[in-house]
A and B are shown apart, each in its own frame.
Chain A
Amino acid sequence: MAQIKLSNLRHSYMPNPQGPQDYALKEIDVTWRDGGAYALLGPSGCGKSTLLNIISGLLTPSEGQILFDDQDVTILPPDQRNIAQVFQFPVIYDTMTVGENLAFPLKNRGVDPATIKRRVDEIAEMLDVTDMLDTRASGLSPDNKQKISMGRGLVRDDVNAVMFDEPLTVIDPHLKWKLRSKLKELHQRVKATMIYVTHDQTEALTFADEVVVMQEGEVVQIGTPVELFERPQHTFVGHFIGSPGMNVLPCEAKGDRAVFEGHEVMLEGPTHGDGGRTDLGIRPEYVGFGDTGIPAHVTKVSDIGRHYVVSAMVGNTALKAVTEHQVPEPGSEVFLQFNPEQSRVYRDGWIATEERAQ
């Protein structure tokens, strides 16, 4: 296992990139702790797969360095980096049994048979596949195949990191849950550095200790799931993380207040900077209902089991609120209350309020 450091990394698929727009991956600088669980999160085309391929060595970056425990591996090919990777579609060796699949990476490295057997048994036990060890891998269900691909990564104890490239894409939802928990459990047991690439916020947030949110080749925010949810640094993060995402409402801001559709809203702290596009950002979870507040017209109420998602119009702006108990009728007029601790102003997308000193 190793600490992974990406230092001033940039990548362009063009031979002579001119400006920032030519880079598929713009400047990234990050250090990942040994044994941590990390996620790269973003929509398709955000550069997360490029970054993944750079880390695993399938791609050499145009600029910058990759260090594993301070050893520069930037130009090393994949097989010399000791990286394991789990792909979107499960890769298994069809002609081998489950046991042979798991043993394959060790066999190739000339590990002695006794150790191979011990490691394979250990991993099979962790993955709950012990009873399938002697069956042919080609006939397995997709989730079991994906487990075997994970197992091939985990069976080696010399891997620097295990990378996951949208590994749950082909898995049914109820099995997705199980497999995701299994993965989390594995991480808690083997303590390997794991990097998980996905466009699914739930997967990223539940898996990782720290998430890198990317958009158009740029890192927008790096933080723990709680940080990303509680205090997004950019409206993109606010919108992308959370379901439904953060309400982004055009407003004017002055001091520690914002004016939204003619209504004054208290903010978490004073704003800085001025000009540019100014938005008020508040998560639906922090929009409440009361006897006074911002008047709104309820357009739709969705019962999604755990709670209700209320869509409402304030003036000409649509927003959403999440509530468990007070459920308004569609078509009714209500008063909304914004939690000031969770109301922030964003200028040109970036956060422009300061946290009030505790």
Chain B
Amino acid sequence: MIELKDATKWVGNVIHIKPTNLSLQTGHFNVLLGATGSGKTSLIKMMAGLDPIASGKVFMDGQDVTRLNTQKRQISLVHQFFVNYPHMTVFDNIASPLRVAGMAKSEVEGRVEEAADLLQLRPMLHRRPHELSGGQQQRTALARAIAKESRAVFLDEPLANLDYKLREELREQLPDLFAGRGAVVVYATSEPEEALLLGGYTALMEDGRVTQFGPTADIYRNPENIAAARVFSDPPINVARITVFGAQAALEGGGGWAVSDMADGDYMVAVRPHRVTPFRTSDADVELTGRVIVTELSGSDSSAHFRHGSDDWVSLAAGVHPYQVGEDHSFYMNPAHCRYFGQDGKRVA
């Protein structure tokens, strides 16, 4: 378990990580999700002991490690860039942390081979990193992290520099690779889709703060504030202004529905693009008519960007739907999937 208690990080006079409390459990896959510059890498470096903490504390398995050296924390770190020792073979690369720890030769061999098998590196054990493809190099780095059997494994956007399909394959393996190894896995990414596919727990990060933390699917469905909803959406979530009057919500560009437990006033409504479809999905659907600005057809899905009042909306639906750019089309949205936020961005319903 890793715990951060009111931990902050300053660089000069600029605060990079605002007071953060976070508790990450052993055996779970924990995703840090946020845009570039939101503080994911900083948080990882604080937990790994690579960056000093200005105030607050870090605990690992209940032990205060705030002032403990990185070397003594028993952790592994895999970077976005492929970091391997260029002059060593794959075998030696994987074995190096074990040798440093003074492990017996026979045990080193066993561990390396086990890790190599998990990552399908067996045939490459005697090659050097430059003879490997990007995917193989990153698998070598992952194998090193696995063989080491650390208390915590930090993966900082490890798939960012790989091809799309390669990313998909490796991503699928990742949770299984670390399952049952007794390590806290922390995975930083800027892609919401990646967080969903990895499952486990997710901490949403924005501007040096963790805005929400919890089981990944929960957070996705129940964002606490508009910022969290925006960070955890791909394609970007639709956000529009509504006015509530007498338990009736009305969009500026027309269209309304009944709401409950909301006082009269102005709110923001957020609804995911795949909940706005060019066909009715239920009797409760609200019809929105808008002029289509852009359409994208991806084979499996069709998406349309349309303007409703002064708001831009995106609809995403499975299958092929012919839209005419510049024409008005009708879209449907079930209010059950709407999330409401106050002017301050906090969730109200």
Instruction: Give bound CA distance, A240 to B114, whole Å.
Output: 29
Contact status B168-A244, CB under 8 Å: yes
Whether A217 is near chain B, meaning CB under 8 Å from some CB there, is no
Whether B165 is near chain A, meaning CB under 8 Å from some CB there, is yes
Instruction: Give bound CA distance, A243 to B163, whole Å.
Output: 13
Whether A225 is near chain B, meaning CB under 8 Å from some CB there, is yes
Interface pick from A52-60, A180-188, A270-278: A180-188
**Chain A residues whose CB sits within 8 angstroms of the CB of B235 once the complex forms:** 177
Contact status A177-B236, CB under 8 Å: yes
Whether A44 is near chain B, meaning CB under 8 Å from some CB there, is yes
Contact status B298-A304, CB under 8 Å: no
Contact status B196-A303, CB under 8 Å: yes
Contact status A206-B296, CB under 8 Å: yes
Among candidates B192, B217, B234, B274, residue contacting A303 with C-beta atoms closer than 8 Å? B217
Contact status B300-A285, CB under 8 Å: yes
**Chain A residues whose CB sits within 8 angstroms of the CB of B272 once the complex forms:** 305-306
- Report A143-169 residues with CB < 8 Å from chain B CB: none
Are A304 and B193 also in contact (CB < 8 A) when A43-B163, A229-B300 are?
A: yes
Among candidates B197, B199, B295, B300, residue contacting A242 with C-beta atoms closer than 8 Å? B300
| A187 CB, nearest partner CB in chain B, Å | 9
Q: Mark B187-208, 1 if CB is under 8 A from A, else 0.
A: 0001111001101000000000
- A sample of 12 cross-chain residue pairs with beta-carbon separation below 8 angstroms, ordered by A number, consists of A172-B36, A173-B35, A173-B193, A173-B234, A174-B233, A181-B294, A181-B305, A184-B295, A185-B293, A200-B164, A245-B165, A304-B196
Contact status B234-A199, CB under 8 Å: no
Whether B103 is near chain A, meaning CB under 8 Å from some CB there, is no
Contact status A207-B296, CB under 8 Å: yes
**Chain A residues whose CB sits within 8 angstroms of the CB of B236 once the complex forms:** 174, 177-178
Contact status A206-B303, CB under 8 Å: yes
Size of B's binding interface in residues, CB under 8 A? 40
Q: Mark B280-304, 1 if CB is under 8 A from A, else 0.
A: 0000000000000111111110010
**Interface of B toward A, CB cutoff 8 Å:** 35-36, 134, 163-166, 168, 190-193, 196-197, 199, 216-217, 220-221, 230-231, 233-236, 272, 274, 293-300, 303, 305, 318, 320, 325
Are A202 and B134 also in contact (CB < 8 A) when A173-B190, A177-B235 are?
A: no
Whether A132 is near chain B, meaning CB under 8 Å from some CB there, is no
| B328 CB, nearest partner CB in chain A, Å | 16
| B40 CB, nearest partner CB in chain A, Å | 12
Contact status B36-A185, CB under 8 Å: no
Are A206 and B297 also in contact (CB < 8 A) when A43-B166, A226-B320 are?
A: yes
Query: Beyond the given A173-B192, A177-B234, A181-B296, could you list 10 further A-B residue pairs with CB under 8 A, ordered by the A residue number?
Result: A43-B165, A44-B163, A185-B293, A188-B294, A225-B298, A230-B299, A241-B299, A302-B197, A305-B196, A306-B274
Among candidates B192, B234, B298, residue contacting A206 with C-beta atoms closer than 8 Å? B298
**Chain A residues whose CB sits within 8 angstroms of the CB of B196 once the complex forms:** 302-305
**Chain A residues whose CB sits within 8 angstroms of the CB of B230 once the complex forms:** 174
Are A172 and B35 also in contact (CB < 8 A) when A178-B236, A206-B297 are?
A: yes
Instruction: Give bound CA distance, A206 to B190, whole Å.
Output: 21
Are A174 and B296 also in contact (CB < 8 A) when A43-B165, A244-B168, A245-B165 are?
A: no
- Report A286-313 residues with CB < 8 Å from chain B CB: 302-306, 309
Query: Per DSSP, are chain A's interface residues mostly helix, strand or loop, or mixed?
Result: helix
| B337 CB, nearest partner CB in chain A, Å | 11
Are A172 and B190 also in contact (CB < 8 A) when A44-B134, A200-B164 are?
A: yes
Whether A228 is near chain B, meaning CB under 8 Å from some CB there, is yes
Size of A's binding interface in residues, CB under 8 A? 39
**Chain B residues whose CB sits within 8 angstroms of the CB of A241 once the complex forms:** 299
Contact status A225-B165, CB under 8 Å: no
Q: Which residue of B lies closest to A200 (CB)?
A: B164
Instruction: Give bound CA distance, A173 to B199, whole Å.
Output: 19
**Chain A residues whose CB sits within 8 angstroms of the CB of B298 once the complex forms:** 202, 205-206, 225, 229
| A91 CB, nearest partner CB in chain B, Å | 20
**Chain A residues whose CB sits within 8 angstroms of the CB of B199 once the complex forms:** 302-303
Instruction: Give bound CA distance, A173 to B197, whole Å.
Output: 15
**Chain B residues whose CB sits within 8 angstroms of the CB of A233 once the complex forms:** none
Instruction: Give bound CA distance, A244 to B167, whole Å.
Output: 11
Whether A12 is near chain B, meaning CB under 8 Å from some CB there, is no
Q: In the complex, which of the residues A174, A245, A309 has the most CB atoms of chain B within 10 Å of its own CB atom?
A: A174
Contact status B297-A305, CB under 8 Å: no
Contact status A239-B220, CB under 8 Å: no
| B318 CB, nearest partner CB in chain A, Å | 8
Q: Mark A214-258, 1 if CB is under 8 A from B, else 0.
A: 000000000011101110000000011111110000000000000
| A125 CB, nearest partner CB in chain B, Å | 15
Contact status A184-B296, CB under 8 Å: yes
Whether A201 is near chain B, meaning CB under 8 Å from some CB there, is yes
Contact status B305-A174, CB under 8 Å: no
Instruction: Give bound CA distance, A199 to B161, whole Å.
Output: 12
Among candidates B295, B299, B325, residue contacting A228 with C-beta atoms closer than 8 Å? B299
Q: Which residue of A lies closest to B312 (CB)?
A: A181
| A40 CB, nearest partner CB in chain B, Å | 14
Instruction: Give bound CA distance, A230 to B299, whole Å.
Output: 7
**Chain A residues whose CB sits within 8 angstroms of the CB of B193 once the complex forms:** 173, 304
Contact status A174-B35, CB under 8 Å: yes
Q: Which residue of B lies closest to A285 (CB)?
A: B300
Q: Which residue of A lies closest to B293 (CB)?
A: A185
| B292 CB, nearest partner CB in chain A, Å | 10
Q: Nearest 3 A-B pairs (CB), nearest first?
A: A229-B299, A206-B296, A225-B299
| B273 CB, nearest partner CB in chain A, Å | 9
Instruction: Give bound CA distance, A224 to B300, whole Å.
Output: 12
Contact status B36-A226, CB under 8 Å: no
Contact status B299-A205, CB under 8 Å: yes
Instruction: Give bound CA distance, A180 to B199, whole Å.
Output: 27
| A44 CB, nearest partner CB in chain B, Å | 5
Instruction: Give bound CA distance, A281 to B13, whole Å.
Output: 59
Contact status B165-A239, CB under 8 Å: yes
Contact status A199-B305, CB under 8 Å: no
**Chain A residues whose CB sits within 8 angstroms of the CB of B163 once the complex forms:** 43-44, 199
